[in-house]
Amino acid sequence: MPFFRCALAGLLFAAGAGYGASEAQWIAVTAPAFRQAIEPLCQQRKSQGLRVVVVQTTDILDRDDICSGRGFKLREHINKLCRAHRGPSYVLLVGALWAGQVDEPANKVLPALTGTIGRMKGQPSDNGYGCLDEDRLPAVAVGRFPARTEDEVRGMVAKTLEYECTPPFSPPEVGGERGGWRRRLTILAGIPAYNPLVDRLVESLALARFARLSPIWTGRAIYSNPQSRFCLPEDCLHQRALQYVQDGEAFTLYLGHSNAEGLYGGRARYLNRDDWAQLRIKQGKGVLITFGCNGCQLKGDDGEGYGLAAMRNANGPVAVIGSHGICFAAMVQLAADGLFESTFAQTPPQRLGDSWLALKNGIAHGGIDPVTFRLLDAVDGNKTIPQATQRQEHLEMFLLLGDPALHLPPMREDIQINTDNSVVPGQKLTVRGKLPKRLAGARAWLTLERPVSSVPDDLEAVPPATARAYAQVLLSNHERANHFILAASESTEQDGRFQAQLDVPTKLPWPRLILRIYAANERDEGMVVHTLLPRSANRSTKP
């Protein structure tokens, strides 16, 4: 994609967000071999109004420091730059993690720091680069391009620019998800494999987060648990998970067991390190957040984590958040709660680093009741490690691969609509609306949807696993569980206005429905959602 389009998008973003050089600072710390490769990203950040500071490792560290993995002087310098700046700072580290990864290490390595507490003591961690005092909770968002070659850096820069500058999708068929990836969350969950009681608790916690999603977000899920409506037959798991990720989305979340080699699907193949290294996301190279163990392992006997393979893939996720070590279920819940409360609200943060800091704050200060903590810790934790120590370990354990200044995809909500606040089963719903001038000539796609936390009304009873129909029923239920659109229509803007009708289904067993309107022309796009209440044909429903 031509850089001028990114630059134009950056200027528009800077004007809309009100950022000035004195308000937000972007610090790129790079190994010398990669200085030129990050220049397009430097220009993009300048065009967005950020104050850009570039530091080369050799400006601060000598050859022995770099080759021996001593980064404390670099931390002091970064911390000083952040303290001296009045506004927020975002720090991107660019370079290999240790000398054994590359030739000419003094020219290509940006050493990680080391953990300081519990199981993280002596382990590699970038957490300290964002801590401006002795507290392990970072005040500044820090991410890394874990590049070993110039080509890897160029690939990471290119997909970052593409993510921020992707134009609207080309027109789909009626009912398709136009621009859907910008507000779509895909959840991949592995087999809990604890016991039925805890398995149900884990699923209920995940579904509770779905229920807290703002209606502006859509979602879909895979859960490798036959008790779940989101389960798939074992022979479908790998291909369907690969398809969902390659479709594109703003965020992919993995919840479940994993090791450095990939996601755990029991006997079934899920997504492994090779899959993440080779998959091709055509549009919507979103953020992968994995709460599985060792997903972002920086080094170990079984190699690097699959998160690093995903990040180095030029056609893979634009950023990856994950754990260097074995993470515990209770701490994952705290991290996920911090993430959901900040990021999946009506208006997400503008920068990925803000989501990242919210996740870390959830680990440090999030609430968890004693019963839930003890239960989760008993089956996926360590009762000999106090909760306070677990929180500190996980602050150093979780890391961000990617640029923390990544501009999360915006979706302006300035479409005006005029319709009833309720719908009648079996009758047509007429929707009229007005589009802003920026969407002149746009087409509007309208969908009536059930909420993402709702249960479809046509699920089949799952037969015993030995039955011939078992796999087919699982697959049918999975597809029904992930299909939320009840009716769809489209309209074309005329004199700034549009009108369309939706055929409302005769059965509406849900307490509320979502009306979603997405409009786009060749240059811009927008979305609005509206909550509707079902009512009978003979009576009205009070709001």
Per-residue pLDDT of the chain (543 residues; tens, 9 = 90+): 444 345 444 434 443 344 343 589 999 999 999 999 999 999 999 999 999 999 999 999 999 999 999 999 999 999 999 999 999 999 999 999 999 899 999 999 999 999 999 999 999 999 999 999 989 999 999 999 999 999 999 999 999 999 998 776 544 443 344 457 888 889 998 876 666 666 666 667 666 766 777 888 888 999 888 888 999 999 999 999 999 999 999 999 999 899 999 999 888 999 999 999 999 998 889 999 999 999 999 999 999 999 999 999 999 999 999 999 999 999 999 999 999 989 987 778 999 999 999 999 999 999 999 998 998 898 889 999 999 999 999 999 999 999 999 999 888 889 999 888 889 999 999 999 999 999 999 999 999 999 988 999 999 999 999 999 999 999 999 999 999 999 999 999 899 999 999 999 999 999 999 999 999 888 888 999 999 999 864 444 333
List the domain range (segments joined by +) for residue 511.
416-534
- Burial bucket for residue 115 (CB in 10 Å: 0-12, 13-18, 19+): buried
Q: In what order do the strands lie in the sheet with 422-423?
A: 422-423, 525-534, 513-520, 443-449, 485-492
Copy the structure tokens of residue 524: 């811009």
pLDDT, position 410: 82
User: Which of 129, 157, 185 is the endpoint of a domain?
Assistant: 157
User: Which of 357, 378, 401 is the endpoint of a domain?
Assistant: 401
240 and 361 inside one domain: yes
420 and 505 inside one domain: yes
d(CA 29, CA 110): 8
Copy the structure tokens of residue 108: 């290509």
314 and 221 inside one domain: yes
pLDDT, position 420: 83
Whether residue 541 is contained in a domain is answered as no
Q: Look up residue 460 and give its DSSP letter.
A: P
The CA radius of gyration of the chain, in Å to the nearest whole number, is: 24
245 and 103 inside one domain: no
pLDDT, position 206: 66
439 and 521 Cβ atoms separated by less than 8 Å: yes
First to last CA, the chain: 48
97 and 29 inside one domain: yes
Helix (H), strand (E) at residue 99: none
* Alpha-carbon distances of 186 from 51, 92, 251, rounded to whole Å: 34, 26, 6
pLDDT, position 207: 66
216 and 344 inside one domain: yes
236 and 381 inside one domain: yes
25 and 113 inside one domain: yes
190 and 115 inside one domain: no
529 and 514 Cβ atoms separated by less than 8 Å: yes
Q: Look up residue 408 and give its DSSP letter.
A: P
Whether residue 145 is contained in a domain is answered as yes
273 and 386 inside one domain: yes
Whether residue 170 is contained in a domain is answered as no
425 and 515 inside one domain: yes
Half-sphere exposure for 366 (CA within 13 Å, toward CB)? 27
Whether residue 165 is contained in a domain is answered as no
Whether residue 166 is contained in a domain is answered as no
Q: Name the domain count of the chain.
A: 3
pLDDT, position 183: 86
192 and 122 inside one domain: no
pTM of the model: 0.92
Copy the structure tokens of residue 457: 């009304």
Any idea what the CATH number is for the domain that residue 490 is in? 2.60.40.1930
Whether residue 284 is contained in a domain is answered as yes
> How many Cβ atoms are within 10 Å of 422's Cβ, its own excluded?
17
Copy the structure tokens of residue 403: 């640029």
